[in-house]
Structure 1
Amino acid sequence: MSKAAATKAGLTNKALTNKAPTNKATLTISSKNYSSWSLRGWLLCRMAGLEFEEKRIDIDDPEQRQELLLLSPSVLVPRLTHDEVTVWDTLAIAEYLAETMPGAGLLPADRVARAHCRAVSGEMHSGFHNLRSALPMSLKARHKSFKIFSGARPDVERIKAIWSECLKTYGGPWLFGASPTVADAMYAPVCTRFRTYAVELEAPLAAYCETVFAWSLMQEWTQDALNEPEDIIELDVEF
């Protein structure tokens, strides 16, 4: 990767060394109840087997916001700092971890499946803005019924189509087969949104969501979210 490409991908100049990585890592996140991007980054780090210190940032606190501005030009979380590398974009974190810890299986071994995984992960990363606006993540909330406005319905249907294709092609129970990958980390918050807002799912898709909910990492994150103070303001940095 060239220096310019690495910088664009979310790496600081300090990342452009050939030093062997260490276990010293910090993951900066925000609300566990509301921040879907924090959840994605956290899942990726845990899936990779990375030992890291978890640091919470309250973006509504002016002093914390200034600190975050100094550390991350985009003011976005999650932000991973590891072995003098700072990565603040979720897909950049995924690629960094896959490269640094190739044995973790974050991406499928098969070249075709790997490309497919990257494509659907990228689609989640850059799209579905209407769904995010209409169905914000809130693990504490649960609606018996919820009217989804028309602008978000195509997003819901597209996600269903992605899941259906992956489960049919790779056999489940995860999107790319027997083990969770980057794609599952990217779509895990969507499972919580569908549960929160009572989105009806066909049986295979509902089963996939149950697989995600039964995931020990998701159960750990969810419990922390439920224990989070009620006075945290819903974040608007998701978009």
Structure 2
Amino acid sequence: MTAATLTISSRNYSSWSLRGWLICRMAGIDFSTEVLSGEDTTSRAELLHLSPSFLVPRLRHGDVVVWDTLAIASYLNETFPEAGLLPKDRAERAHCHSISGEMHSGFVNLRSALPMNLKAFHPGFRLFNGAKADIERIVTIFDDCLDRYEGPFLFGKTPCLADAMYAPVCTRFRTYDVKLPPSAAAYRDTILHWPLMIEWAETAAQEPEEIEELDMEF
């Protein structure tokens, strides 16, 4: 079997590393995880969420090297089509691509104002208007998918690419005590209790503190 390595940065702070890891686990690929040091300047830039298209997560699978979360998902979907990273129905697959792409390229206000920090909890956190607009759009996406595909995941009974893309947002909703309507709150809880998310969070809890600047990135 071809060896695979996924390079990530912080488990506690890096939303893109989480997405890449979830996608690899859902695809069923046998891989090891390489964690970059927070002292590396390029790793620190990624941890501060300056770009969704950074060099981590990066998957090396034999002679293939692919980075960028959606590129990794596309490669793994082609390599392991039976894993169900994308819906089988063409219209549903297009919908999944669309909302995944929206997360990949959008919601900048939310990402900058509410950086991922699994160890933190900020009850009563004050949201500014730009982040509120992003949250309202995400709640609309959740409600539409859950109503259309009947949950508990965005496209039905099993998780897919879209759930991996929005999973870090669900952690932000918990960290910053974001009030959600019942349907969106139920989906948030589904994601937070997803065994893969529990596994990631337990490992993140053991991670040393390295990125002090994130405490000032609100």
Q: TM-score, normalised by structure 1?
A: 0.82
1:42 to 3, 21, 30: 21
Q: CA deviation at 1:151?
A: 1.6
Amino acid at match of 2:10: S
Unpaired runs of 5+ residues, structure 1, are: 1-21, 66-73
1:1-239 equivalence runs, <5 A: 22-61=1-40, 75-233=54-212
Cα deviations by residue, 1:200-231 (Å, 9 ceiling, x for unpaired): 11111111111111111000000011111123
Q: 1:207 to 1:75 in 2, by over 3 A?
A: closer
Q: CA deviation at 1:153?
A: 1.2
CA distance in 1, matches of 2:54, 2:157: 35
CA distance in 2, matches of 1:98, 1:120: 17
Higher mean C-alpha displacement, 181-190 vs 51-60: 51-60
Amino acid at match of 2:190: T
Unpaired runs of 5+ residues, structure 2, are: 45-52
Amino acid at match of 2:104: H
CA distance in 1, matches of 2:54, 2:183: 37
Q: CA deviation at 1:75?
A: 5.0
What secondary structure does 1:200 align onto? coil
Q: CA deviation at 1:27?
A: 0.2
Q: CA deviation at 1:102?
A: 0.3
Amino acid at match of 2:35: R
Superposition RMSD on alpha carbons, in Å?
1.7
Higher mean C-alpha displacement, 87-96 vs 222-231: 222-231
Cα deviations by residue, 1:151-195 (Å, 9 ceiling, x for unpaired): 211111000000110000000000000100000000000000000
Q: TM-score, normalised by structure 2?
A: 0.90
CA distance in 2, matches of 1:60, 1:223: 22
Aligned to 1:8: none
CA distance in 1, matches of 2:88, 2:137: 25
Amino acid at match of 1:49: G
Q: Does the 8 Å contact 1:34/1:234 carry over to 2?
A: no
What secondary structure does 1:160 align onto? helix
Q: CA deviation at 1:61?
A: 2.6
- Percent identity reads 63
Cα deviations by residue, 1:78-126 (Å, 9 ceiling, x for unpaired): 0000021111110000011111000000000111100000000000000
CA distance in 2, matches of 1:110, 1:119: 14
Q: Does the 8 Å contact 2:38/2:210 carry over to 1?
A: no
CA distance in 2, matches of 1:79, 1:118: 20
CA distance in 2, matches of 1:75, 1:176: 27
What secondary structure does 1:91 align onto? helix
Q: Does the 8 Å contact 1:57/1:64 carry over to 2?
A: yes
